[in-house]
Each structure stands twice: as C-alpha cells, then as structure tokens.
C-alpha cells in the first residue's frame, strides 16, 4: 500500500492480540489509516505511538472534507477540534479489507478499483456496494 500511503485509503485487517478489543469495538478486525494531512501527520509524529481515533463525523453522515464540515457536525459534542488543510480529494477514503491476499472494496472513495489493480492487486467490490448501485 506504499503506493497510496499517506493518502485516502483505509485498510481493514484481521487484528492481532496486541490491539485491545476496546480499540476495535470488540471486532476481530482493525481499520488502519495514514492520512496525508500535514496537521494529522504531525500529531501522529508527536504522539510517537499509534492513535486510535474515530472519523471526524457523526455516524451515517458524510465524512468531512473541510474544517467547517467538522465543526458543523461535532461542535459542542467534543472537547476539541484540530483543523488542517482542506482535503486534497474532496471524497471519503476508500476502505478496503485485506484477507488472505484478497482485497475487497468495502467503501468506494478517492482510490479506485482501477488504481488498485494497476499496482497488481486482484480487487473485488463488496456485493453490498453493487446492490446499492443497482438501486440508483
């Protein structure tokens, strides 16, 4: 995934026992992301440890692409909002699950199936996504 990191791709992997269940909401998988945003990267660098953090939006709402979107969603619901540059792509990150050498797109985003296939990956699209596209 060096081709897309840092950047707008989230990778879901089977979690190891080193990752507390509290971090994964008792799931047996963990989603890993390395953002390209310079403020987020600096925060990660200063922390000098992995950071467990949710998305900067209310569940079910679109992911924010500007600090204004985040403030609109979260003002008064969190203690602090740290802003950064505007998102480069203006789309949500692509979420892929990687299990047994198989890559499945769980949520489409800035990194497309074609882009993943260009680096030699065999990529499937989650059937749930395909069903929702057929309803449009």
Residue 19, CA distances (Å) to 36, 101, 103, 116 in order: 24, 21, 22, 27
pLDDT value for 89:
66
pLDDT value for 111:
94
Please say whether the beta carbons of 6 and 41 come within 8 A.
Answer: yes
Task: Quote the CA–CA distance of 135 and 97 in Å, as a whole number.
Answer: 24
By DSSP bridging, strand 94-99 and strand 123-125 are unpaired
- Summarised one tens digit per residue, pLDDT across range 18-68 is 988 888 889 999 999 998 888 888 989 999 988 887 777 777 777 777 888
Would you give the end-to-end CA distance of the chain in angstroms?
A: 31
**Residue 136 pLDDT grade (very low, low, confident, very high; cuts 50, 70, 90):** low
Task: Quote the CA–CA distance of 90 and 72 in Å, as a whole number.
Answer: 17
Predicted TM-score (pTM) of the model is 0.82
**Residue 96 pLDDT grade (very low, low, confident, very high; cuts 50, 70, 90):** very high
pLDDT value for 32:
92
Tokens of 25: 């909401």
Does the pLDDT of residue 7 top 80, yes or no? yes
Identify the three-state secondary structure at position 91: coil
* HSE, side-chain direction, 13 A CA sphere, residue 120: 4
The residue whose two tokens read 């390209």 is: 36
pLDDT value for 2:
82
């Amino acid at each position: 995934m060096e081709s897309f990191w840092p950047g707008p791709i989230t990778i879901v992997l089977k979690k190891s026992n080193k990752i507390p269940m509290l971090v994964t909401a008792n799931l047996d998988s963990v989603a890993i992301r390395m953002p390209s945003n310079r403020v987020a990267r600096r925060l990660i660098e200063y922390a000098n440890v992995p950071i467990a953090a949710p998305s900067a939006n209310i569940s079910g709402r679109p992911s924010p692409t500007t600090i204004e979107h985040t403030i609109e969603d979260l003002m008064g619901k969190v203690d602090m909002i740290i802003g950064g540059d505007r998102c480069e792509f203006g789309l949500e990150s692509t979420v892929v699950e990687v299990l047994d050498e198989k890559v499945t797109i769980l949520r489409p985003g800035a990194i497309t199936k074609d882009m993943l296939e260009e680096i030699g990956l065999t990529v499937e699209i989650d059937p749930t996504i395909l069903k929702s596209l057929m309803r449009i």
